[in-house]
Chains A and B, each alone.
Chain A
Amino acid sequence: MNIFRLAADISHAVAIVLLLYKIWTSRSCAGLSLKSQSLYVAVFVSRYLDIFRFVSFYNTFMKLFFIIGSSATVYLMAFKFKHTYQKENDSFPVLYLILPCIAMAFVLPYEYNPVEILWTFSIWQESVAIFPQLFMVQKTGEAESITSHYLFALGSYRGLYILNWIYRYVVEDHVDWISIVAGVIQTVLYCDFFYLYITRVIKGRKLDLPA
């Protein structure tokens, strides 16, 4: 564990809590992509099949937190506040995201066994899971401020992991190419959003995109 990884995990957890808080307090999931949130559940469940293999209390606790938090988000969006879900704006064709990730999992896992293939799938799937949400923001041309904070926390997390990977390469000689390449792609996807967030949301303005 190092400071970058801890900050990244905290940022990731904060993102999930922010989203649940937004949905619960506004009693609405307007502007949120159920497709992205469903992909995250798939990501966490496929990656954390090793949840019963003990690494540390922290590791197990965080895995449980991510699975339960993302599942609760999907539950609220798909059932409790379903009437507020803007299905017509959540129109990104997700199979174009899922199929290449399945292909990558079978073509380039570290080892050929079910757990490794699912782990590889989860890493690639996570890297592009935010696409439907960013697509929705682009399509409607706006995001509520708390949704922007959520996206910023979620985007920061993989960016901080890049610093963690640099640190681990230097200090521990540890390299995980699949995580690094997918993590860089994931972070790059947020660049446009980061720019808008810093130039608009931090200055107290709403995230309205130019038409």
Chain B
Amino acid sequence: GHSHDSHDEL
């Protein structure tokens, strides 16, 4: 998914 929750990288 492309939701904000997938921005797990720094």
Contact = CB atoms under 8 A, between A and B. Distances in A.
State whether these chains interact.
Answer: yes
Interface of A: 5, 9, 12, 50, 55, 59, 62-63, 66, 110-111, 113, 115-116, 119, 161, 164, 174, 176, 179
B8 to A, nearest CB: 6
Interface of B: 2-4, 6-10
Contacts of A66: 10
Q: Interface majority SS on A: helix, strand, loop or mixed? A: helix
A53 to B, nearest CB: 8
A63 B4 contact: no
B3 to A, nearest CB: 7
Contacts of B10: 9, 12, 59, 62-63, 66
A111 B8 contact: no
Contacts of B6: 174, 176
